[in-house]
Structure 1
């Protein structure tokens, strides 16, 4: 790297520091705000501490195949980089944190520049880079020939408090992680204070234990040169011994404070005092603040050295929060903003002429030379790095002919049949599970398709001729990734694999299984994956109190509501195998859609945009209905509901159920039918889609589309006003209770609201009032007419 290159990087560093701070200042002090608005916010100090690191990465170290998760609070610097390179329009920058402007934190779905991974201050953007690297290895094992990139995460030191980071570290070690860089902005300040002393030692020990290379970037080139002067060893020792809070405070106070404290502490050490005396206050402040994370020469040298192999590497880059601004070092600077007076002072220091604040190359002495340098920057050489992959053709739907079977077992049989048949879809399915592969019925798939590892590993039990139903051999072309028992890691793997078409240009169909109650354990990462528009099939099974003997710890209650509330996720809970088969067939297509968002006027759902799918399945064997293959039935299954028993014109009671309580609803309907007129049974396969269509149709009518009518309104709108809805689900009753609001019908919601316990299914269904007797009793209490017999 030449001295001229360093000069260009220094210029770029100053430009990015200015543009990021100005963007935040404009949003808070200059842009018109609605009356009553509080401050817009932003993170000038957090951006400043990472400006040099981003400069060295984007304009020197990175290549187009690399993928980066930017520290959320450094988002303004990231956007400034793309603005400088012509990839971000000015109006987006001027509307930072405003409607239609750049997001507070980098978002791959809501920002227009080249965001690889969305980030927020919860460690998820850090951890997903490990799983993206594993996906890249998986693709290489399956024939991808593109050069391997590095998955890079830029991390705030306080973000290391997040537990999912350490779960990901352990999972990465299990899978021989490589080609990952994490760069820690070690400014030793968090939102409310100063990071605990000695944290760097814990960080280094943890990463070393998991086989990472640790690179400590503590001293900049100025400091290293000073250490070679007489008295330099004393200066180094002072820096090493200085508490974090004191170092920050002296940085904020400036050169005179540095001089006073150093001379006082050096005492009779004449060489050390002379080293200080050779520098004026400004030079002394520049020396003491020349930490490794702000020194472009040190950063570039460290990145170049780490490129020599694919060892996962963590860079512990010492920085000063707010470096280069009037906020530098103050403990309250996290959400602090420069005042107009401070900004004017900063503008003078940065030599930006008045009126040229938004000019990308303001204060650049030789713009032509700098542009020439930028034209040769490798990272931007190939333009946008978002890929697309063609949709896979789906084989003929798998149908099951079992007379009695659970939906969980049916799911396993359908996947096994797909594996046996082969073809493009089967070859692109990637399954994964957090140590529950066999118990969620993935065993058949794994036996046919194998487990993935970069290096082949034999099935020892098979080699030793020990009988086992599982073929547990690993190879680079296996199609199942076995994860440890950490649901956050499962969701992050689904997120990374579900972005493969965009990150790597290769389509994958990720399928993940998890015990349904533990969806909540990974909910943060599930939401994160959906926010990025990752595409995957999540199977939560077994579910509900129907898993009776397992007890309350393994019984889910609120997961149907999660399915309804989670954006980007279409949730289904089929009761029967034919429903499951239809839903899975539809899902494989839905995961691959990427069309316009115009609603389908049949449902008012924007299905052409596609998304991910969540199946809530059960281990309870169910007697299957007679063969059903008419188009209306199939469409109802996908849209969310169909009449299992269509009500008459004078219906007094309609029973609406979702999931494995179907047999209870059917039995209850048979017992009630002799005493109540025209009873109906509504089979709800997706409360999520049924509800979403209803609310979308209401919004459409509010916008003037008077004819908009949802499926829920068509199903329930014809019922007489005196009809009562009894809703029942092995889950929270609120999942279906809203049905009464569709057309104003009285509703009795039955479901599970409290933690379960061990027992038989009959015991628990009776305890929670979701059995046939409870449904009949509800009808008896509220329906007019003759008394209903309460027992079969």
Structure 2
């Protein structure tokens, strides 16, 4: 079959299948009680159909990776269905439980999604960081086969997202290459039509950061018409037509086009003759034959840009709703074809009733098209997810400092790991958004160097200027220095954390960020976890314990983020021995399992693994030496252990997490002087404790039996026992412990913005010091005595 003819057949089939999938979900499939519109974005699929067809079926190769515009998910699923990588059952269940997802998902879909999309803009930007990761892998002499191109299919409204422009600047810093962004420039968004002249801003911004911009405005039919007498005037009219008018005339159809063109440029001469040579239908086809809606033109544009690795933005002019009754209408973003419109659409495509799901229905030469599809390079190797080797951990790195902060210990542990080449440390790649020094990574970077595709010497060293930072850049470096944009950090961690699947090479990404600014990159953190990316992020320093820095740098709610974020195991150790165990565990946890979700009987991720979050502190603590044995390690990684075990008559348990440990220990000593039995629970991970508890409850409801770690810890405490929980963070992080076995809780923590001051001042002010813990125990005891007398 002729190549262009085949592409047009594919384009036509994908337009039908994607439209029918959405129609079936909204108008045919039974809905549950109280159901509302299912949705699916028929118009957004239609505007992208020519671009997707030309890209996947004429240009891409198996090593290329694509982030598909979220609203084009039905089109992507239809393409995979045509190629045998998607099932009819999942298409029929589109947007239903267990069916094809609303937006392409690596973890929920089964049809070879490269990058999850849905949180608009993030799927665009991650392709740039995936390219950087690919360069990193090549720089270290790893990876097999040809380099891939990282491609994003971008809705023009996605360019309103600020993270896109943060990404452009970071890409410029790192000599970005092998990236294509194809912008579906349909000039319509959910609420209206985009402002005139946006294309000029797009070209200027991308050009400023070294991108090539390819404007694809006119299709083959239009270019041919421009060569006719009067064609130049038609071109000038099209190029000058306002976006909203072009959309309105598209919706109204051929007769409206003719009337407007005759009014504006018709002269009973060449232009009139050009128009008269075409019927209303042919004129409508001509006027909607923009470059991005012409598969032949898009294929040519991609071919012409393939000769180098320069980052390229294709500005492809399209019609939202192209080829459907929704084309051009202002309200078509969330619009759906009515049953009557769908019947007309069916007739237009020649699809017989009952054969709507047939992949090759209406194809004149199905065997010829099948033979063509067998030759398409992108699909030639089937699904393209790799499996990478795993690397055994080497055990905890124990530190013997008499006094140490967890941030300092974190840097020392990595620094010690950096000494020996050839082990698991070779697979670590660190990232930091301009806070490398202040988050403890200096020793690691001094020993392992900074990554750059081209080597750069440390000028300060060359000029004999003394500095503790010996930072030379080379392709073998293992630290990637980023600008101060937390969204970029989490996108980079997400891309590197998928390297095992995308590129077949295991990386162990480690990032650092000031803990309060985890929230600034939260959308990208959530996005990375949703994809199943594996990384370790250290939020440091944290809490009001960062006393002199003031409220802007003091985190309050980040422990709750760690608890609530799926795919992320959160820890807040107090002692370096705990941190040593957690870091060793994390490097293993990041490599566990494969793609997909945890077992739904428990929803624990211990088999599937995931990412890890460490909440660290700059507060130096006099170190407590542990037994450094398996029992200690199990308690730490499961979330808690008894620092001071309870007895049969225990009245008070002090449960602490993180840098408030000294206050908990002091308070236990003071309370114990009143002959009340006091136990101290060292919580290393409220997240792991809570996840285990809820998983045990779920397991008991489904299969019966089983106690969680926290239930075993608290289950034998006397019923009258008081739990005093304390954390430099939101008190809800630990206050739920009372629900495990029905104990009273006195929750201490931080609920308001901090301010500058000393650690002692702020801990006293927020009532997380030893005095507050003692007072909480005394207040409870007094209240209990009053209640007993009353009874």
Q: Which has the larger displacement, 611-620 or 414-423?
A: 414-423
What is aligned with 2:21?
A: 23
What is aligned with 1:588?
A: 587
The change in CA–CA distance for 1:150 and 1:598 in structure 2 (over 3 A counts) is: closer
Aligned-residue offset at 1:713: 1.1
2:325 touches 2:337 (CA, 8 Å); kept in 1? yes
* 1:168-187 correspondence to structure 2 within 5 Å: 168-187=167-186
What is aligned with 1:161?
A: 160
Aligned-residue offset at 1:365: 0.4
What SS does the aligned partner of 2:677 have?
coil
**2: CA distance between counterparts of 1:546 and 1:11?**
65
**2: CA distance between counterparts of 1:236 and 1:371?**
38
What is aligned with 2:506?
A: 507
Aligned-residue offset at 1:743: 0.9
1:435 touches 1:482 (CA, 8 Å); kept in 2? yes
The change in CA–CA distance for 1:598 and 1:148 in structure 2 (over 3 A counts) is: closer
**1: CA distance between counterparts of 2:7 and 2:240?**
31
* 1:382-781 correspondence to structure 2 within 5 Å: 382-594=381-593, 605-705=604-704, 707-781=705-779
Q: For residues 522-553 of structure 1, what are the alpha-carbon distances to aligned partners after superposition, in whole Å with 9 as ceiling and x for unaligned?
A: 00000000000000000000000111001111
Once superposed, what is the RMSD of the aligned Cα atoms? Answer: 1.5
What is aligned with 2:117?
A: 119
**1: CA distance between counterparts of 2:517 and 2:603?**
32
**2: CA distance between counterparts of 1:120 and 1:646?**
48
1:578 touches 1:628 (CA, 8 Å); kept in 2? no
1:648 touches 1:677 (CA, 8 Å); kept in 2? no
**2: CA distance between counterparts of 1:261 and 1:626?**
84
Aligned-residue offset at 1:461: 0.1
What is aligned with 2:228?
A: 229
What is aligned with 2:789?
A: none
What is aligned with 2:299?
A: 300
What SS does the aligned partner of 2:607 have?
helix
1:69 corresponds to 2:62: no
Q: Which runs of 4+ in 1 moved over 4 A?
A: 595-601, 784-787
**1: CA distance between counterparts of 2:25 and 2:535?**
37
What SS does the aligned partner of 2:734 have?
helix
What SS does the aligned partner of 1:652 have?
strand
What is aligned with 2:313?
A: 314
Aligned-residue offset at 1:421: 2.1
1:782 to 736, 760, 780: 780
What SS does the aligned partner of 2:214 have?
strand
**1: CA distance between counterparts of 2:499 and 2:94?**
29
The change in CA–CA distance for 1:597 and 1:254 in structure 2 (over 3 A counts) is: closer
What is aligned with 2:138?
A: 140
The change in CA–CA distance for 1:568 and 1:604 in structure 2 (over 3 A counts) is: closer
2:107 touches 2:597 (CA, 8 Å); kept in 1? no
What SS does the aligned partner of 2:586 have?
helix
What SS does the aligned partner of 1:660 have?
helix
Aligned-residue offset at 1:371: 0.7
What SS does the aligned partner of 1:692 have?
helix
What SS does the aligned partner of 1:661 have?
helix
What SS does the aligned partner of 1:726 have?
strand
Aligned-residue offset at 1:194: 0.5
2:187 touches 2:243 (CA, 8 Å); kept in 1? yes
The change in CA–CA distance for 1:784 and 1:651 in structure 2 (over 3 A counts) is: farther
The change in CA–CA distance for 1:427 and 1:627 in structure 2 (over 3 A counts) is: same
Aligned-residue offset at 1:267: 4.5
Q: Which has the larger displacement, 620-629 or 265-274?
A: 265-274
1:327 corresponds to 2:326: yes
**1: CA distance between counterparts of 2:460 and 2:768?**
45
**1: CA distance between counterparts of 2:47 and 2:327?**
9
TM-score, with normalisation over the residues of structure 2? 0.97
The change in CA–CA distance for 1:121 and 1:682 in structure 2 (over 3 A counts) is: closer
**2: CA distance between counterparts of 1:273 and 1:211?**
43
What is aligned with 1:81?
A: 79
1:348 corresponds to 2:341: no
The change in CA–CA distance for 1:363 and 1:338 in structure 2 (over 3 A counts) is: same
Aligned-residue offset at 1:711: 1.1
The change in CA–CA distance for 1:599 and 1:363 in structure 2 (over 3 A counts) is: closer
**2: CA distance between counterparts of 1:597 and 1:171?**
32
Unaligned runs of 5+ in 2: 786-791
What SS does the aligned partner of 2:718 have?
coil
Q: For residues 52-75 of structure 1, what are the alpha-carbon distances to aligned partners after superposition, in whole Å with 9 as ceiling and x for unaligned?
A: 100001100100010000000001
What is aligned with 1:790?
A: none
Q: For residues 294-352 of structure 1, what are the alpha-carbon distances to aligned partners after superposition, in whole Å with 9 as ceiling and x for unaligned?
A: 11111011000110100000000000000000000001011111000000000000111
Q: For residues 683-724 of structure 1, what are the alpha-carbon distances to aligned partners after superposition, in whole Å with 9 as ceiling and x for unaligned?
A: 00000010011111111122240x221111111111111111
The change in CA–CA distance for 1:475 and 1:143 in structure 2 (over 3 A counts) is: same
What is aligned with 1:244?
A: 243
The change in CA–CA distance for 1:226 and 1:746 in structure 2 (over 3 A counts) is: same
